[in-house]
Amino acid sequence: MSRSRVALSLLVAALAVLPAFAGPYALSVATLVLYFAYTGQAWNVMMGFAGQLSLGHSLYVGVGAYTAGAIFFHYGIGPWAGLWLAILLCVLLGAVIGFLAFRFGISGVYFALLTIAFAEFTRIGFDHLDWVGGPGGMFLRVAQRDTWDIANFRGPPLMYYYVILALAALAFVLCHFLLKSRPGYYWRAIRENEEAAQALGINAFRWKLYAVALSSAMTAVAGVFFAFYYNNLFPEQIFNISRSIEIILGPIIGGLGTLFGPILGAVVLTLLSDGITELLAALGWEIPGVKQVFYGVVLLVVVMFLPHGIWPALARRLKLDA
Amino acid sequence: MLEVKAISKAFRGLRAVREASFAVPEGDINGLIGPNGAGKTTIFNIIAGVYAPDTGSVVFNDEEIHGLRPDQVCAAGIGRTFQIVKPFAGLSVLDNVIVGALHRERGVASARAYSVAILEKLGLGSKRDLLASSLTLPDRKRLEVARALATRPRLLLLDEVMAGLRPTECDEMVEVFRELNRRDGLTILLIEHVMRAVMALAKHIGVLHHGEVIARGTPAEVVRNPAVLECYLGEETEV
């Protein structure tokens, strides 16, 4: 067994027994870390693997959340059914954006702008959609929080922790497998040089669409989780561009295109930023926006000293591969 | 095998290629030479599907291929290298070639085995685990060839792969192409400035000047052609 496998097994084991030692607050922070590890992994498929910069991933979180949330709210249909509708809608949206961009040769910064634009008009659209509460938000009924009701995705925080842990683990395994097989090779080839990739027989248009579809589907699942974990949805919050930025900071800081980057980035950002907020609160200072300043500082430091992210440097130091 | 029939291509009024015609029979190694800006690379890009010609047609194995996308041209059996090398810089040398090999191979394992063999053939075997970005220019040119070969083309388009190689390295490369041609029956069309390589390899040569084919023939014939001498060296004078 390689060193990285051992390290990974230890990490999973530690995360599995963590709730036994963690209080409610620590558990909520751990849930948040895993949530960002998962969404970061999803975003990384598009940017880290295929080189397509999306700055509008809040779109998929939001549409996923609202879809599953709304059919639960209105019709009492549980999230396991809503999940598929959420995935379907998000993949369709991603396919529309991808088709428009890749068909008409919009790439790089302009593609990123297009993803922001879609997230923004969806936000404005939902503000005017009374069916889901408009700007006033939508609130899911919290019937019970004591026993595990997996079928309706209702239960204590511990249940959500294990669900997001499973999702993060699954996403990791999926990405690991993809990276080692044909899609991984094709995506990275397109990321490195699209013209050369095409000359080697790769239909770049199609493979970029696949990356967008997979990334949006994975992010849709995160949205469903979000809806049933927080139980309240506001367009202003969920579609906000700062939400998209939160998703992408983890993988950038951890290491673009790597499997551990999104996880490491989520740990660093969430733990440290919550730690600082807590510390300041304990000292009696309430500084609004300190989290954003902290994100900025971390990003600056990493970009300056570790332009490939923390993970590649750390992996070399620890003699772990990939 | 390949027939280029009266193709023309203009870029905003600049007529890069004018009514160029030539053919490459199966099993041949042919060359395309000409001064800088003569339209050689544009012709390659038209054959490879990067540009569609304004007029004219490109026929490969009795099928019209002009207007196909680059990946479709590759699937039809034409491999190409880029004059300005385009390695997948962030990937290892081996992974670069595996991308190409996956075009015909079922899985990564068999693509890897095939790629290792190709890298050996091109003298890059010991460098396969390096990042492509760390290669020297001559090695990057070899990598271009290795990657194109990995797609198992029946016709290989080589765009100045000898440029920057030392004479001995150039001779090694010539030997590699000869063997590929002889043993695997690979047909090759090369653009080349290094006359040493063209003379050694090409059976027939076409000379381009201002987008037009001004001469065709064996290497020996072409270098005696007054029109060719004029465009390369100016008018012939007694020395």
User: In chain A, which residues have pLDDT < 70?
Assistant: 1, 143-144, 321-322
Structure tokens at B221: 């014939």
The Cα A42–Cα A62 span in angstroms is: 15
- Residue B192, pLDDT score: 86
Q: What is the chain B residue with the closest CA to A191?
A: B88
> Is B133 in CB contact (< 8 Å) with chain A?
no
β-sheet bridge partners, residue B208: B213
Domain with residues A3-318, CATH architecture: Orthogonal Bundle (1.10)
- Residue A166, pLDDT score: 96
Collect all residues with Cβ–Cβ distance below 8 Å to A267 and sequence separation of at least 6.
Answer: A33, A37
- Residue A188, pLDDT score: 97
User: In chain B, which residues have pLDDT < 50?
Assistant: none
Residues of A in contact with B133 (CB under 8 A): none
End-to-end CA distance of chain A: 15
Residue B49: alpha-carbon gap to chain centroid: 14
The Cα B230–Cα A127 span in angstroms is: 73
Secondary structure class of B162 (helix, strand, coil): coil
Residues of A with CB under 8 A from a CB of B: 180-182, 185-186, 188-189, 191-193, 195-204, 257
CB atoms within 10 A of CB B60: 21
β-sheet bridge partners, residue A138: A233
In our burial notation (b when 16+ CB lie closer than 10 A, e otherwise), range B98-125 reads: bbbbbbebeebeebbebbbebbebbbbe
In the structure, how many helices (H) and strands (E) does chain A have? Answer: 14, 2
pTM score, whole prediction: 0.92
Secondary structure class of B135 (helix, strand, coil): coil
CB contact under 8 A, A200 and B48: no
DSSP output for A175-234: HHHHHHSHHHHHHHHHHH-HHHHHHTT--HHHHHHHHHHHHHHHHHHHHHHHHHHH-EE-
- Of A100, A51, A239, A194, nearest in space to A43 by CA: A51
Give the DSSP H or E segment for B66.
none
The Cα B183–Cα B176 span in angstroms is: 10
Residues of A in contact with B80 (CB under 8 A): 199
Residue spans of the domains in chain B: they are 83-152
β-sheet bridge partners, residue B7: B20
Count Cβ–Cβ pairs < 8 Å, chain A vs chain B.
76
The Cα A306–Cα A291 span in angstroms is: 21
C-beta of residue A113 within 8 angstroms of C-beta of residue A255 = no
Residue spans of the domains in chain A: they are 3-318
Collect all residues with Cβ–Cβ distance below 8 Å to B8 and sequence separation of at least 6.
Answer: B15, B17, B18, B19, B20, B53, B54, B55, B56, B211
Of B86, B99, B147, the CB nearest to A195: B86
Rounded CA Rg of chain B: 18
- Residue A297, pLDDT score: 87
CB contact under 8 A, B82 and A204: no
Structure tokens at A8: 């990974």
- Residue A144, pLDDT score: 64
Q: Tens digit of pLDDT for each residue in A55-75? A: 999 999 999 999 999 999 999
Residues of A in contact with B148 (CB under 8 A): 199-200
Structure tokens at A16: 């599995």
Give the DSSP H or E segment for B157.
strand B155-159
